[in-house]
Chain A
Amino acid sequence: MSAFLEVTDLRAGYGDARVLHGVGLAVPQGEICAILGPNGAGKTTLLRALSGMVRVRGGIRLDGTDLAGRPPDALARLGVAHVPEGRGTFVPLSVEENLRLGAFIRRSRAEINADLERIYTYFPVLRKRLKQAAGSLSGGEQQMLAIGRALMLRPRLLLLDEPSLGLAPLVTQELFRIVRAINEEERTTVVVVEQNAHIALGIAQQAHVLETGRIVLSGTAEQIRADEQVAQSYLGYRV
């Protein structure tokens, strides 16, 4: 019985520089998977590999479909949405234009409008900022916009790269609560990369610790949380 997202022996890098040396993962449908690990471990590269932004070798299967080697726009069409590190909003465009661009591959106007409403219920603050340039939003608001935009794709797989980056603790908590709500209500499978292990383990079912391009530890969120040694050596602090 194979999982919804199945990654086997994934290798990837930039030019000659290998970053991932054989990563394996299996995420069941509707679950949240947290990727933890120190700076430079290859977490961002792993997400880039999953969304086609770097060249890969090895296997990536989403619900049985082979994703490896396809370009990002093709993966978007297959339901992979990537919220990149540092958000990647379209700074000069308005909030609404950003959200509508998220639905670029979809045609039905009625559905898109309905989805916009749905996203405003998750992120009420976006409704207040609709006509404002994305670049003029606060860091937290931009992160919400980036996630909202990714949801406009109606993703089957949502990739989040350090959503807490640069956010105040309270905002981070709120954001993760919303990610959890989205995951529960839409049954969207999520892979989230986080430095803030505590908060990520709080919403995830399973977690993996990545170090220098290899997974050095995997388990349920509880197992990883309980592992004192992990806390010390990989996460750098008590969780």
Chain B
Amino acid sequence: MSGSTEVTSKAASAETPGRGRAPGRAATVRWRWIVAALLLAAACYAPFQLVPFHVFQLSMVLVYAVALLGLNLLVGHAGQISLGHGAFFAVGAYTAAILLQRVELPYPLTLPVAAAVAFVLGLALGLPAMRLRGLYLALVTLAIAIFLVPLLKRFEPLTGGSMGLTLAKPAPPAWTGLAEDQWLYFLALAVAVAAFLLAHSLLRSRVGRALHAIRDNEAAAEVMGVRLSFYKTLAFAWSAMFAGAAGCVYTWVIGFVSPDSFVVTLSITLLAGLVVGGLGSFSGPILGGLFVMFVPGIAQDVNDAAPGVIFGLLIIAVMYVAPTGLAGLAGRVTRSIQKILRKE
């Protein structure tokens, strides 16, 4: 019965989507890991070559990259939006700060607790929020971010109110021979690598497949047995968990938390950073981390009076040149280099 079904390929449209899996996919995957390994080697080498301030800046890039890994799960892979990611970042940062100061917990233990608190909060807020879509979801998540700052100011005995909390930074163990900034950097790097591997294995699991199905076609996913509310809420909670872990490392690196560090702009900058870096892509969170760390400062340098305007213009410029984000641009450049190399 299985006569070959010859289908005229008139409809084999040329516009294979950017995220499409081309035949050369296995090769690209291998390349990715090679690039990742090289980057990691460079990342281990960098703090010995840079001045402490630059090491600190790189630590912050890693912190933001961890937060963006989480946001990428939700926005890039599950296709949902959040304008409140900064709130979970703040929750992680404050959880760590409170545990360090009020409970005097050893700092390595603050990481799992901060991640867990953010996860549970994400679950609790995601349960109602993820029944909404599009603009409604954007609005509700934005509200979470807006409510957080007054809330932090209010519980002064715990949070230190508007003054915030100042803490001792984790000290490097003597055997490492590292300076404080280097030690903090390696802590951030370790968390970033772990977060990266975790996100990667989550996405390769059954749940990752469910998220992609939801992103690409909600109705079709549902008729195949994917429970939308369950997986969306899970994605929201995970993204919160990564943000919480990132917030915790933020507290380690900066040694200070205050409500004004976590205003709504943080959430919006994070989302912008992810989109500019490249939604749903492998390198998007790292590129986005660089963006979140450096671009607001650059905007400030260009025009002190209206950094917001410059920041906005820069986003527009990047999206115009690279509509799929910097990761997409990097991919295009690599492919054309490969093509040139193959020709020779």
Interface residues of A (CB under 8 A from B): 51-53, 71-73, 75-77, 80-82, 84, 88-94, 97, 100-102, 104-105, 121-125, 131-133, 135-142, 144, 149, 153, 168, 171, 174, 177-178, 181
Contact = CB atoms under 8 A, between A and B. Distances in A.
Interface stretch (B9-17, B65-73, B157-165, B319-327): B9-17
Contact of B19 (A52, A81, A92, A101): A92
B23 interface: yes
A174 to B, nearest CB: 5
A76 B225 CA distance: 5
B23 A105 contact: no
Contact of B224 (A122, A131, A153): A153
A154 to B, nearest CB: 11
Contact of B2 (A94, A105, A124): A124
Contact of A141 (B7, B15, B19, B22): B7
Contact of A88 (B10, B23, B209, B220): B220
Contact of A104 (B13, B213, B216): B213
Which of B3, B17, B209, B216 has most A Cβ within 10 Å? B216
A136 B212 CA distance: 18
Given A92-B216, A104-B206, A171-B7, 13 more contacts: A72-B219, A73-B222, A73-B223, A84-B220, A90-B213, A90-B216, A94-B21, A124-B2, A133-B19, A135-B15, A174-B3, A174-B5, A181-B1
Contacts of A144: 5
A73 B220 contact: no
Contacts of B10: 138
A153 B226 CA distance: 12
A136 B206 contact: no
B336 interface: no
B131 interface: no
The 8 closest A-B pairs by CB, nearest first: A133-B20, A76-B225, A105-B225, A88-B220, A140-B7, A90-B216, A138-B11, A92-B19
A30 B243 CA distance: 52
B205 interface: no
B331 to A, nearest CB: 14
Nearest to A152: B224
Contacts of A124: 2, 4-5
A137 B12 contact: yes
B231 to A, nearest CB: 10
Nearest to A102: B224
A133 B17 contact: yes
Interface of B: 1-13, 15-17, 19-23, 25, 206, 209-210, 212-213, 216-217, 219-228
Interface residues of B: mostly helix, strand, loop or mixed? loop
A136 B221 CA distance: 20
Contact of B21 (A53, A101, A131): A131
Contact of A121 (B2, B11, B228): B2
A125 B21 contact: no
25 contacts: A73-B225, A73-B226, A76-B224, A84-B219, A84-B223, A88-B220, A90-B213, A94-B21, A94-B25, A104-B210, A104-B226, A105-B224, A105-B225, A124-B5, A125-B5, A131-B21, A131-B22, A131-B23, A132-B22, A133-B21, A135-B15, A136-B12, A136-B13, A140-B7, A178-B5
Nearest to A146: B220
Contact of A171 (B5, B17, B19, B221): B5
Contact of B223 (A53, A141, A178): A53
A210 B318 CA distance: 53
Nearest to A88: B220
A84 B224 CA distance: 11
B13 A72 contact: no
B5 A123 contact: yes
A142 B13 CA distance: 12
A84 B220 CA distance: 8
Contacts of B16: 133, 135-136
A166 to B, nearest CB: 8
A168 B5 CA distance: 12
A48 to B, nearest CB: 9
Given A92-B216, A168-B8, A181-B1, A104 B224 contact: yes
A120 to B, nearest CB: 9
B220 A92 contact: no
Given A84-B219, A131-B25, A132-B23, A91 B209 contact: no
Nearest to B20: A133
A112 to B, nearest CB: 11
Contacts of A131: 21-23, 25
